Amino acid sequence: MLLLQVGRGSEFRSAAKKMGYSDIKSMNTVKGDGTKAEDKPPAKIIIPENGTLSFEGFVEVYQEELTQGKFWGIAHDLHRLNEPLPNVGLFNARYDRMYFSQVLQPSAVLDTTSSTACPNSVEPSDHLPVAASFVRK
């Protein structure tokens, strides 16, 4: 039997809202006299008894995750359901940029790459460090 932890993650919160859960904390942030209420820790999310998630709502939840760049969450969910994404090889691209000018010139650049998928035993994150030192000319 597959046991999964329910109740955490942005996709769970988004799905819970689509099923009728409302965040009481966000609704009660102002007191009757107009002053701000004290922040309380978030309450446990309880989905209403008649709460259902339509197929369209399910797709919307994961489209929101993709829009936010949270591909790993979807890959993790599929993996936990024994439906891993196919391995199409190592992703090799750069998103980070550092800019310089005629006055500010790079003197040293650390451009980290990995020949295996990250995270791994050497790189604990899927974000590799990029660093540079600059000198003023």
Query: What confidence tens digit (pLDDT) does each residue in 35-69 have?
Result: 665 655 556 787 888 889 999 999 999 899 888 88
Number of domains in the chain: 2
The position carrying tokens 């009757």 is 32
Share of the chain above pLDDT 70, in %: 77
Same domain membership, residue 29 and residue 62 = yes
- Tokens in use for 32? 């009757």
pTM of the model: 0.48
Same domain membership, residue 110 and residue 54 = no
Same domain membership, residue 29 and residue 74 = yes
Same domain membership, residue 114 and residue 63 = no
Same domain membership, residue 110 and residue 75 = no
Same domain membership, residue 116 and residue 67 = no
The candidate with the shortest Cα–Cα distance to 68, out of 118, 13, 11, is 11
Q: Judge whether 4 lies within some domain.
A: no
Query: Which residues constitute the domain of residue 120?
Result: 104-136
